Structure 1
Amino acid sequence: MSRSGSGAALALLLLSACASAPPAPRPVAATFDPAAMIAAIDQAGVADSRELVVRPLTDGRMDGLKQELGDLRAPDRLAITGQQLELALEAQPDDAELLQARAENAILQRDLATAEHMARRAAAVGAQAGPHCRRHWETVVQVLLARASDGDALAEAEASRDACTVAAPPRY
Structure 2
Amino acid sequence: MSRRLAAFPPHAAPILLALALAACASAPADAPVARGTEIPAERMVASIRAAAGDGEGELAVQPLRDPQVEDLRQQAARLETQRDYAGAADALDRALRIVDDDPALLQERAEVALLLGDYATADRLARRAYALGAQVGPLCRRHWATLEQLRLSEGDADGAASAREQIDGCKVAGPVRY
Q: TM-score range by the shorter chain?
A: 0.7 to 0.9
Query: Partners of 2:77 and 2:59 in 1: how far apart?
Result: 29
Q: Return the TM-score normalized by structure 1.
A: 0.73
2:176 corresponds to 1:159: no
Which consecutive residues of structure 2, in runs of 5 or more, have no partner in the other structure? 1-33
- Change in CA separation of 1:163 and 1:65 when aligned onto 2, cut-off 3 Å: same
Query: Partners of 2:175 and 2:94 in 1: how far apart?
Result: 39
Query: Partners of 2:77 and 2:49 in 1: how far apart?
Result: 17
2:32 corresponds to 1:30: no
Equivalent residues of 1:137, 1:161 under 8 A apart:
yes
Quote the residue 1:67 is aligned against. Answer: 74
Query: Partners of 1:95 and 1:58 in 2: how far apart?
Result: 9
Query: What is the 5 A alignment of 1:8-157?
Result: 29-149=36-156, 151=158, 153-157=159-163
- Change in CA separation of 1:70 and 1:159 when aligned onto 2, cut-off 3 Å: closer
What are the superposed Cα offsets for residues 50-84 of structure 1, whole Å, 9 maximum, x if unpaired?
32222234333312222333424235411122123
Equivalent residues of 2:85, 2:112 under 8 A apart:
yes
Which consecutive residues of structure 1, in runs of 5 or more, have no partner in the other structure? 1-26
* Greater C-alpha radius of gyration: 1
Q: Return the TM-score normalized by structure 2.
A: 0.71
- Change in CA separation of 1:68 and 1:49 when aligned onto 2, cut-off 3 Å: closer
- Change in CA separation of 1:70 and 1:53 when aligned onto 2, cut-off 3 Å: closer
Query: Partners of 1:138 and 1:163 in 2: how far apart?
Result: 12
| C-alpha deviation, 1:108, in angstroms | 1.0
Report percent identity of matched pairs: 40
| C-alpha deviation, 1:138, in angstroms | 0.7
Query: Partners of 2:65 and 2:127 in 1: how far apart?
Result: 19
| C-alpha deviation, 1:45, in angstroms | 1.6
Query: Partners of 2:173 and 2:154 in 1: how far apart?
Result: 32
- Change in CA separation of 1:88 and 1:34 when aligned onto 2, cut-off 3 Å: same
| C-alpha deviation, 1:164, in angstroms | 0.8
The 3-state SS of whatever aligns with 1:139 is helix
Aligned residues: 145
Query: Partners of 2:131 and 2:79 in 1: how far apart?
Result: 22
- 1:86 maps to a residue whose letter is D
